[in-house]
C-alpha cells in the first residue's frame, strides 16, 4: 500500500482556481476575438469555461461582474437609465470634398491655425477609419468595466452596460497584453530597459536588477498599468459577414411564419438595434464587434494617471490594455501621406470586413491638439473625410429571375443606372419572393439601393409616396426561366428551386462536379477549373457529354497536355463501372445524401423501381421522410432528368442491380454515429465507411437519436452537445473495439 505524501502541496483553493480560470479565459478570448490568433482548441476553451461555471455555482459568494460567464446578459430592463458624460462625446467636422483633395484642405487649415510657413516641416497626423457604427463610451474603474453609455446628445447618453457586456471583444477586466512598437519598444512603458529586456527593471543608483517575481503582471508584460479611472471611446459595429448571417436567419424565421420578425436594412441599424435592446438576452444573440479610437475621462497625471505625448501612443497603450484598434490606423506626414491613405482605403474599401463611410485625420501631437482647440464644440485638430454614399435613389425598370448554380431562383431588380459606393449599379437583389413582397417592390417604383463591400447591391426600401404606376405585385414564376423545368418551394423554405438539375444550363458546373465527386461516381482529375473551362467553351452541356469527349478537344484546353487528357479519358472510362448507391448520389437529387442513396438501393434494388416509385412507396424506405420522398418524385417527374439518366446508361455507365442478399447481423446495426474532430489514424471518410460497412449509420449532427459520438482532437460544439445530452463519447480506439465486437 502506497504511503501518502504528507508533505505534498494542497491544490489551489476555489477562490484561487476561479481567479486563475477567469484570467486564462480572458486571455484566450482576447487572442481569439481581438487578435484573431486562437491559442487553444475550442474544446479546451469550453472545458475551462465549464469548470469555471461549476466552481461559481458551488461558490456563489465568489461571483464577480468581470467573470467571462456573465457575458450572456442579465434580466430585461424596463428602460435605459441616463448617463451624463464626465467628458462630452463631441462630433468632428466633416470635410465636404469627398475627393482626395479634401485631405489637402484639412492640412492647409491646420498649418494656417498653427502659423506654419511652407518651409516648416510637415504636420504629423494619425489616419484612421471612420466606422459606420454606434459611438460608445466604456468606463473602467480599477480595471473593471462598470458602465457603458451611448453618445446620446454628446452630454447625456443611455446606460447600455448589460448589452455591451455581451460583446466579446470588449474586456470585462483589463489584463496586460504586450504590444511591440517600431524599434523594439513596448507600448506604454515609462522607462526603456537596456537591451530591450522586460524580465527585470534596474532602479536608479542600484546595483541589482529587481527580480521578475517582485514585478507586477503589467511590468512583467512590459506595459503600463491602466489608471484608476479610464473611459475608452470607440465604435460598436457589425461585420458584414455577421450581418448577412443575421439577415439569413431572419429570412428563415419569416419564411417559417414567425411574427414580428424582419430583416435589417444595414449593419449599422442592426448594431444600433442590438445595443438598444431592453432584453440583454436578445442583444447577446446579435454578433457585435468593437474598435477603440480614443478616451474620455482619465485619472490625471498628478493623481497617478498616464501621460501621453501623442494620439498614436495613446492608441497603442489602449491596445496593450486589451482593446481592439483597427489595423489600418497609421501615422502620416503632411497632406501627401493623408491623400495616399485616403486613396488606398478607397481602393480597399470593398474588401474590408466591415462598413466605413470615410476616414478620419487627427493631429498626432496632443500638445498641438491643445493649441488648436475647438470651434463650436468641434475640434480644429480632427476631420472626417467621407467617401461617396453607398445608398442612392433610382427606379426599377423590370424584375427578372436569375438561377444560381444550385438551382436557387432569385428575383433581381433591373435599375436605371445609378452610381453607388464607387460603381455604377444596374441590378439589385430582392433575395426571394417573400422579401420582394414584404418590401412591395414593383416595376416603375422609386427605390433606395444599397451597395457595401462584396455584397450584391440590394433594394433597401420603396419610396411608396413616389409610386406612379399600378404594376402588379411580384410573383415568382413556377417554371425555371433557363430550362423550363418546374420551380418548387419546399415547405418551410424561403427559396424556389429549379428541379431540372441534370439539364438546366445554369446548374451544369455544379451538377458535373457533384457527379464526379469521389464519394459519388468518381472521375479522378476532373476538378473545378477544368469543368469551368469545358462548360464555358461549350464542350460539355450535360453529364453524358463527359463520355463523348475526345483527346483532341481536351488537349486544346488551357494547361491540358496530351498526357493529362489521356489520364482524364481513362478516369472517365473507369467511372462507367460504379454502384447504384454511388450513381444515385451522383445525380445530385436534393436531400438525397450517401446514406439515403444506400437505403434506396437496398430497398428497391433497381434504378427503374426507384424512378417509378410513388411517394407512398418511397416512404417505406427507412431513411426516407416526406421531404425526401417529394424531392425524389419531383426530380424523376422531370422528363429532362429522365432523359439524362437514359443517356448516361447508353454511354455505358452501369452497375450490378438487384436487392442484396439478407445480411447477417452486424456489430453496429441500428446504431447512429456522429464523427467529429481529427482522429489519430483514420480520416473522417474512412471512419464513416467502416461504420456503414458494419451496419451503422453516420449522421452530420448530434441529436437524442445519436448513439455514439466519435471525438478526435478539436472536436468543438458537437462534443459539447453530446456531453449536454448524455450521449456516449468514444475515441478512435473505442470505435475500433465496437467494430470488432460480435454482432447482436
How far apart CA 628 and CA 597 sit, in angstroms, is: 11
How far apart CA 153 and CA 88 sit, in angstroms, is: 9
C-beta separation of 166 from 303 below 8 A: no
Q: From 128, 170, 127, select the one nearest 147 (Cα to Cα).
A: 170
Q: Which phi and psi angles does 700 have, rounded to 5°?
A: -90, -15
Helices and strands, counts by H and E, the chain? 25, 24
Q: Which three cell numbers stand for residue 612?
A: 417509378
Q: Which phi and psi angles does 90 have, rounded to 5°?
A: -85, 155
Whether 439 is catalytic is no
Q: From 255, 299, 310, select the one nearest 476 (Cα to Cα).
A: 255
Work out the end-to-end distance of the chain between its first and last CA atoms, rounded to an integer number of angstroms: 42
Residues in the chain: 744
Alpha helices in 549-638 (DSSP H): 551-555, 562-575, 580-586, 594-604, 607-612, 615-618, 626-636
Q: Which phi and psi angles does 647 have, rounded to 5°?
A: -65, -40
Q: Which residues, other chains included, contact 257 with Cβ-Cβ below 8 Å and sequence gap of 6+?
A: none
How far apart CA 470 and CA 384 sit, in angstroms, is: 43
Q: From 127, 115, 94, select the one nearest 372 (Cα to Cα).
A: 115
DSSP β-ladder status, 496-498 and 487-488: antiparallel
Return the CA Rg of the chain: 32
Q: In what order do the strands lie in the sheet with 124-131?
A: 94-95, 382-386, 356-363, 124-131, 330-333
- Alpha-carbon distance values, 115 to 112, 311, 533 (Å): 5, 21, 64
Angle among Cα 635, 637, 642 to the nearest 5 degrees reads 80
Positive or negative, the CA dihedral 498, 501, 505, 506 is positive
Positive or negative, the CA dihedral 489, 493, 495, 501 is negative
For residue 149, count other CB atoms closer than 10 A to its CB.
26
Q: From 685, 636, 661, 659, select the one nearest 499 (Cα to Cα).
A: 636
Q: Which residues, other chains included, contact 36 with Cβ-Cβ below 8 Å and sequence gap of 6+?
A: none
How far apart CA 354 and CA 237 sit, in angstroms, is: 8
Diameter of the chain measured on Cα atoms: 96
Residue from 112, 130, 262, 671 carrying the catalytic annotation = 130
Q: From 93, 90, 76, select the one nearest 157 (Cα to Cα).
A: 90
The DSSP element (H or E) to which 102 belongs, if any, is: helix 101-114
Angle among Cα 451, 457, 458 to the nearest 5 degrees reads 110
Residues tagged active-site: 130
Amino acid at each position: 500500500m502506497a504511503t501518502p505524501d504528507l508533505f505534498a502541496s494542497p491544490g489551489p483553493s476555489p477562490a484561487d482556481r476561479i481567479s486563475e480560470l477567469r484570467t486564462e479565459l480572458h486571455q484566450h478570448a482576447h487572442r481569439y476575438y481581438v487578435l484573431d490568433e486562437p491559442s487553444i482548441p475550442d474544446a479546451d476553451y469550453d472545458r475551462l469555461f465549464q469548470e469555471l461555471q461549476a466552481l461559481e455555482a458551488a461558490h456563489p459568494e465568489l461571483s464577480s461582474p468581470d467573470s467571462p460567464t456573465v457575458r450572456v446578459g442579465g434580466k430585461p430592463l424596463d428602460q435605459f437609465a441616463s448617463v451624463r458624460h464626465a467628458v462630452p462625446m463631441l462630433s468632428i467636422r466633416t470635410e465636404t470634398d469627398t475627393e482626395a483633395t479634401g485631405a489637402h484642405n484639412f492640412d492647409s487649415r491646420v498649418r494656417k491655425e498653427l502659423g506654419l510657413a511652407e518651409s516648416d516641416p510637415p504636420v504629423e497626423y494619425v489616419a484612421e477609419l471612420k466606422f459606420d457604427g454606434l459611438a460608445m463610451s466604456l468606463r473602467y474603474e480599477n480595471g473593471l468595466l462598470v458602465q457603458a453609455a451611448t453618445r446620446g446628445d454628446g452630454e447625456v447618453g443611455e446606460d447600455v452596460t448589460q448589452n455591451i457586456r455581451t460583446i466579446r471583444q470588449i474586456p470585462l477586466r483589463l489584463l496586460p497584453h504586450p504590444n511591440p512598437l517600431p524599434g523594439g519598444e513596448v507600448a506604454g512603458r515609462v522607462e526603456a530597459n537596456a537591451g530591450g529586456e522586460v524580465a527585470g527593471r534596474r532602479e536608479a543608483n542600484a546595483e541589482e536588477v529587481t527580480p521578475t517575481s517582485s514585478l507586477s503582471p503589467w511590468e512583467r508584460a512590459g506595459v503600463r498599468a491602466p489608471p484608476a479611472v479610464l473611459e475608452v471611446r470607440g465604435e460598436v459595429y457589425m461585420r458584414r459577414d455577421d450581418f448577412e448571417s443575421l439577415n439569413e436567419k431572419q429570412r428563415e424565421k419569416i419564411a417559417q411564419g414567425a411574427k414580428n420578425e424582419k430583416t435589417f436594412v444595414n449593419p449599422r441599424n442592426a448594431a444600433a438595434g442590438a445595443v438598444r435592446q431592453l432584453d440583454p438576452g436578445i442583444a447577446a444573440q446579435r454578433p457585435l464587434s468593437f474598435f477603440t479610437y480614443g478616451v474620455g475621462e482619465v485619472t490625471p497625471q498628478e493623481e497617478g494617471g498616464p501621460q501621453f505625448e501623442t494620439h498614436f501612443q495613446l492608441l497603442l497603450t489602449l491596445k496593450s490594455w486589451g482593446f481592439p484598434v483597427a489595423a489600418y490606423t497609421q501615422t502620416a506626414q503632411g497632406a501627401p501621406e493623408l491623400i495616399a491613405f485616403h486613396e488606398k482605403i478607397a481602393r480597399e474599401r470593398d474588401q474590408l470586413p466591415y462598413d466605413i463611410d470615410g476616414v478620419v485625420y487627427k493631429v498626432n501631437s496632443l500638445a498641438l491638439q491643445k493649441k488648436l482647440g475647438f470651434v463650436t464644440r468641434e475640434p480644429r485638430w480632427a476631420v472626417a473625410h467621407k467617401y461617396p454614399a453607398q445608398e442612392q435613389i433610382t427606379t426599377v425598370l423590370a424584375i427578372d429571375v436569375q438561377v444560381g448554380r444550385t438551382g436557387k431562383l432569385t428575383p433581381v431588380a433591373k435599375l436605371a443606372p445609378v452610381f453607388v459606393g464607387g460603381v455604377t449599379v444596374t441590378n439589385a437583389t430582392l433575395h426571394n419572393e417573400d422579401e420582394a413582397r414584404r418590401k412591395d417592390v414593383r416595376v416603375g417604383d422609386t427605390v433606395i439601393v444599397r451597395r457595401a463591400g462584396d455584397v450584391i447591391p440590394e433594394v433597401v426600401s420603396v419610396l411608396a409616396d413616389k409610386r406612379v404606376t399600378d404594376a402588379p405585385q411580384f410573383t415568382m414564376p413556377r417554371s425555371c426561366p433557363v430550362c423550363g423545368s418546374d420551380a418548387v418551394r419546399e415547405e418551410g423554405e424561403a427559396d424556389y428551386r429549379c428541379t431540372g438539375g441534370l439539364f438546366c444550363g445554369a446548374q451544369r458546373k455544379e451538377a458535373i462536379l457533384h457527379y464526379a465527386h469521389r464519394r459519388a461516381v468518381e472521375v479522378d482529375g476532373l476538378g473545378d477549373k477544368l469543368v469551368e473551362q469545358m462548360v464555358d467553351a461549350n464542350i460539355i452541356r450535360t453529364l453524358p457529354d463527359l463520355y463523348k469527349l475526345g483527346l483532341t478537344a481536351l488537349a486544346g484546353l488551357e494547361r491540358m497536355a496530351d498526357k493529362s487528357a489521356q489520364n482524364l479519358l481513362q478516369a472517365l472510362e473507369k467511372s462507367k463501372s460504379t454502384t447504384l448507391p454511388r450513381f444515385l448520389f451522383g445525380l445530385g437529387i436534393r436531400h438525397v445524401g450517401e446514406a439515403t442513396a444506400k437505403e434506396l438501393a437496398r430497398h428497391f434494388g433497381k434504378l427503374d423501381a426507384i424512378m417509378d416509385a410513388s411517394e407512398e412507396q418511397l416512404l417505406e424506405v427507412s431513411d426516407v421522410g416526406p421531404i425526401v420522398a417529394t424531392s425524389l418524385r419531383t426530380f424523376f417527374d422531370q422528363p429532362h432528368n429522365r432523359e439524362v439518366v437514359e443517356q448516361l446508361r447508353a454511354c455505358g455507365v452501369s452497375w450490378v442491380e438487384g436487392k442484396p442478399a439478407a445480411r447477417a447481423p452486424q456489430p453496429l446495426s441500428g446504431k447512429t454515429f456522429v464523427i467529429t474532430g481529427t482522429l489519430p489514424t483514420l480520416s473522417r471518410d474512412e471512419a464513416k465507411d467502416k461504420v456503414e460497412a458494419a451496419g451503422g449509420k453516420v449522421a452530420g449532427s448530434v441529436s437524442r437519436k445519436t448513439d455514439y459520438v466519435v471525438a478526435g482532437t478539436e472536436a468543438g460544439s458537437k462534443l459539447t452537445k453530446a456531453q449536454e445530452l448524455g450521449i456516449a463519447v468514444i475515441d478512435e480506439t473505442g470505435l475500433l473495439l465496437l467494430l470488432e465486437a460480435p454482432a447482436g
